Amino acid sequence: MNEKTIINADRSYRLAEQKAVEYFNSLADQHAGETYVPTLTKDFESWKSNHIHRRSLLSFFTNKKKPSQKDYHRYIGWLDMTGKLEPYLDRSISYIFMRDMGKALDSPETKQRIQSVVNGLKKDLTTKQADNDDVFSMAKLYRKAQRNGIESTLIWVTEKLKTITANIPEGMDAEEAQRKLIKIIAGLVMQEIEELGDEVAPEEKSTRLDTTIRLGYAYGLTYPFIDDLLDSNVLSEQERNQYSELIRVTLVTGAVPELGEWTGKNRNLMLFIHSELKAAFEFIKENQPEEEWRAFLEQAYVFFKSQEVDRVKNLANENYTNEELYVPVILKSSASRLIVRSIISAPEDEGIDNRTFYYGIYNQLADDFADMVDDREGGRVTPYTYYLEHHKKRPDLINPFELYWTVIANLIHQVYDSDPKTSDIILDRAINGLKRFKEKKGDKGYNEVMELFFSANPAFNQTIQQMVRKATDVDFFDKLLRDHMVSNLQKERKEREEFTEMTRMMRKEINDFLPISNGGSVSIMNEPIIEAANYSLISGGKRLRPIVTWFMGTEKYRLDKAAILPLLKSLEYMHTASLIYDDLPAQDNADLRRGNPTLHEAYNTAVAELTGLFLTQKAVEEQASLETFDAKLVLQLIHYSASVTAEMCRGQAMDLKTKEEPLTLEQLNQMCFYKTGLGFEAALIMPAILAGTDELEKQALKKFARHAGIAFQIKDDLLDVDGDQELLGKSPNRDSKNNNSTFVSVLGQEGAKKEMWEHYCLGMEILQELKQENPFLKHVLNYLVHRDY
């Protein structure tokens, strides 16, 4: 490859390596001298007073009520109630400031910043409704983004995440990729907010946050698409080498080369990744000050290379030295954090850089400890797996668990100058890590591991084990949040799958009972009307309206399914009729509907007009046959249904008039409510009428339907511009060809998306108030805005 290098990659790596070797040698000396044992024993002695309490009668009662940490809201409520919330948050935020931002906790400014973050967070956690668990819901995030003027950025990143998840190949974990990306973006945003300080002007803040989120995404992509991909078995050996080389060339030349010939079986995947990463790389480049670009590339190279060095190691190789094992660990774990500062162009700060450099290995050794079983099964070389594999024949190998405590002692006393708070927090974290490990593995599994790694130091071991058993108040908010996020993502996914499966089955059944029979009447003429009606009915469609009615009718109002069957039919008849009219030459003049030629194309306009009328009347006929219900209710239903149909006609007429005069946003919302929103409303209100539901609830449902319906229409307008004809079953760009006023023509695509999410949030907020015990409507709304057809 013809490469024009702009950095001296080997030299950068050697320099970084040198520093890491020095650090490692110092750790190895401390380890050999066992100085960490008396030091930490003493540290634990004073630490204990805050964490090991004799159980008083009172604590016996309060302890009993302590909820599980799996119950996020109750756990926070409990912390608050017992006065533990503030120290809990203080410990957690201090830790993040130390780990992610390289801060020293004894600086007065840092103390003040931590206090202010803790106060804000405490207020947030204790004043918001405690009973909703959607901390990460799109509606909440969107509202937050609006307050900061970055809603377009949120929409952008949401769409990006969706594309990424859809493109994660089998053999890799899509959910994990998503979580990592979110975590990295959140981390960068947090750092940027700290860099910005409190006094920044709102416009400046939104511009900076916008860039930071995009940078976070750009950098975050490297985790699933470089790191995890190269770690996985998705690529063949040859593909892996080709890909690694491509990345190396990118970093040393500062430009992404063409993908070139790709003969491996993952060509499509690589085309996608190449184009995404290229855009990401160029975005980072654009946002780096010229003079720092090289430094950034060098750092990225050190990060990449140190991972490569580890990746090609073989667990069966008996000859790695301690230095070979630990130096890449020091390099990659610190580079991953140092690079963040360089991405957001934070000012240089030697103190931060040094602390970050020394800190990394602590986290890495804690992570590798927790993952050792998986890593060993996967054949990955980490200090732990390698030690397990070879320590019997290699007495010279450093016990990684002992080195871990050495690192801790070194951090507390050499790096952080024996600051008591730092000492407290690092020990909290270490004990918490072991407690979590013990919980996960069970006593037996835990003890086995401990015996393996801790036999040489019985007294120190005993101290640690006592802490693990007895210490309290060592848990951390970031862990709670992480667990909560993981379980929420899982819950959401499960619910979504159930929703998809349920609606699929409903759709299938609806399709079976929709066709109209001629009732056995014998005709001596060839009449096309029933055939035409069935042509329109059976050619497809999402069946959204009858699905909503079915679910609400049977699950919420406990109505008998067979009894409401006529209602389900009537809704789809009315809807299909509205589409037949909408497609007519005099209206939208469409040629394709539900994947087939429109009715007037397949037959003729007269047949289409008559079929529309025929279907609306069939709908009334069905409604009038809801005979198991009280006649008054049925009458009320027919009355409502007729008025909705009339209003929808008004809506269509307004729509057609917009060819002459474009609408304001307000008029647009109104028009869409009439032409589309009401159809949705009917699907929710009709079963409520049959169930004799009270007026208050109906009003709330109507409010929800209005926003859901408008969001639905906006999505329809957006799909008209960027949808896939094959999936949609309709010809695209109808609206612009017809010169119709739509959300896209009035607000532009960007603006239309914002308006859609606004209605989405309004809809979700109503559901929140309604306190639905079933998430069905939430999933309907999600489906409306996320659908591709």
Name the site residues for ligand IPE (rule: CB under 6 A): 541-542, 544, 575, 578-579, 582, 588, 590, 594, 675-676, 679, 713, 716, 720, 730
CB of 720 to Mg ion, least distance (A): 5
388 binds, among ligand IPE, Mg ion, none (CB under 5 to 8 A by kind): none
> In the complex with ligand IPE, which residue's Cβ is closer, 326 or 760?
760
CB of 736 to ligand IPE, least distance (A): 12
> In the complex with ligand IPE, which residue's Cβ is closer, 332 or 575?
575
> In the complex with ligand IPE, which residue's Cβ is closer, 590 or 626?
590
> In the complex with ligand IPE, which residue's Cβ is closer, 39 or 578?
578
Distances (CA, A) of 231 to 43, 129, 176: 39, 42, 14
CB of 590 to ligand IPE, least distance (A): 6
594 binds, among ligand IPE, Mg ion, none (CB under 5 to 8 A by kind): ligand IPE
AA identity, residue 412: I
**Sites for Mg ion among residues 599-658 (CB under 5 A):** none
541 binds, among ligand IPE, Mg ion, none (CB under 5 to 8 A by kind): ligand IPE
Select the residue interacting with Mg ion from 43, 210, 588, 647 (CB under 5 A).
Answer: 588
Query: Is 326 in contact with 403 (CB distance < 8 Å)?
Result: yes
Which residues, 6 or more positions from 417, have their beta carbon under 8 angstroms from its beta carbon?
106
Helix axes 267-286, 151-167, angle to 10 degrees: 150
Give me 269's structure tokens.
């995947």
164 binds, among ligand IPE, Mg ion, none (CB under 5 to 8 A by kind): none
- Draw the binding track, 720-749, toward Mg ion (x: CB under 5 A; -: no contact): x-----------------------------
CB of 541 to ligand IPE, least distance (A): 3
Query: Is 253 in contact with 285 (CB distance < 8 Å)?
Result: no
Phi then psi dihedrals of residue 695, to 5 deg: -60, -40
CB of 726 to ligand IPE, least distance (A): 15
Q: If residue 593 lies in a helix (H) or strand (E), which one and from where to where?
A: strand 592-593
**716 forms part of the interface with Mg ion (CB under 5 A):** yes
Number of C-beta neighbours around residue 160 at 10 A: 19
Helix, strand, or coil here: 592? strand
CA distance 674 to 655: 10
Which residues, 6 or more positions from 462, have their beta carbon under 8 angstroms from its beta carbon?
none
192 binds, among Mg ion, ligand IPE, none (CB under 5 to 8 A by kind): none
> In the complex with ligand IPE, which residue's Cβ is closer, 42 or 542?
542
CA atoms within 13 A on the CB side of 206: 13
> In the complex with Mg ion, which residue's Cβ is closer, 375 or 717?
717
CB of 656 to Mg ion, least distance (A): 8
360 binds, among Mg ion, ligand IPE, none (CB under 5 to 8 A by kind): none
CA distance 232 to 223: 12
Which residues, 6 or more positions from 549, have their beta carbon under 8 angstroms from its beta carbon?
564, 567, 568, 571, 683, 684, 686, 687
CA atoms within 13 A on the CB side of 715: 22
> In the complex with Mg ion, which residue's Cβ is closer, 90 or 582?
582
> In the complex with ligand IPE, which residue's Cβ is closer, 411 or 714?
714
> In the complex with ligand IPE, which residue's Cβ is closer, 541 or 763?
541
If binding means CB under 5 A, how many residues of this protein chain bind Mg ion? 4
CB of 734 to ligand IPE, least distance (A): 6
CA distance 302 to 297: 9
Phi then psi dihedrals of residue 593, to 5 deg: -145, 130
> In the complex with ligand IPE, which residue's Cβ is closer, 550 or 629?
550
578 binds, among Mg ion, ligand IPE, none (CB under 5 to 8 A by kind): ligand IPE
Contacts 24+ apart (CB under 8 A), 262-265: 264/235, 264/236, 264/238, 264/239, 265/236, 265/239
Q: Find the residue with minimal CB distance to Mg ion.
A: 588
- The stretch among 385-393, 560-568, 587-595, 613-621 that binds Mg ion (CB under 5 A) is 587-595
Task: Tell me the H-state helices in 455-542.
Answer: 458-470, 477-513, 529-538
CB of 610 to ligand IPE, least distance (A): 18
The residue ranges that bind Mg ion (CB under 5 A) are 582, 588, 716, 720
